[in-house]
Amino acid sequence: MKKFTMETTVGIFMVVGLLAIGYMTVKLGHVSFLVEDTYPLYTKFTTVSGLKPGNYVEMYGIEVGRVENLAMDQENGLAVVELRINKNAKIYDDAIASIKTEGLIGDRYVHLDPGGAGEQLKSGDTIVETQPPVDITDLIAKYVFGGVKPPGTSGESKGGKP
């Protein structure tokens, strides 16, 4: 009888543990089985350096979606980004999508300025206005090699003569 209760206890513990692992996998993986509460929008950038599927999309500093897929439009020489946006986020046809970085060397994410003067975008529509990411290494290289002047210098000597 003692063996039976020990096996039952271990079995219940294993079932509860597997259910907890399954729940955490679904929650942390942002997987939705029952209700599709997002819709797709597309954007086109000249470069999506550092952006990858799973990165978040934010608007007003709040996460409103995820990057679903990256593809190429070779005819136009652009990168196409598929976004999955929460249904409660209203984005209009004059919206601007830009790729930003968390901190100095953090992950990339898509920032949306939702607009508001035009019509609301529907599932499958494209955000036309985009801004590619700023490449910090290019900025540093320009500064180091003289492409950018430090603030407060205008290139003139103090005597008024060059």
Residue spans per domain, the chain:
38-144
pLDDT of residue 2: 67
Instruction: Please calculate the CA angle 51-131-140 and round it to the nearest 5 degrees.
Output: 75
pLDDT above 50 for 39: yes
The DSSP letter of residue 42 is E
pLDDT at 82 over 80: yes
List, for residues 59-70, the tens digit of each pLDDT value: 998 999 999 999
Mean pLDDT of 127-133: 86
Confidence check: pLDDT of 159 > 70: no
> What are the φ/ψ torsions at residue 74 (nearest 5 degrees)?
-70, -25
pLDDT band, residue 148 (cuts 50/70/90): low
Q: What is the pLDDT of residues 9-37, one digit of tens each?
A: 888 999 999 999 988 887 776 665 545 68
DSSP 44: E
63 phi/psi in degrees, rounded to 5: -70, 125
Predicted confidence band of residue 117 (pLDDT cuts 50, 70, 90): confident
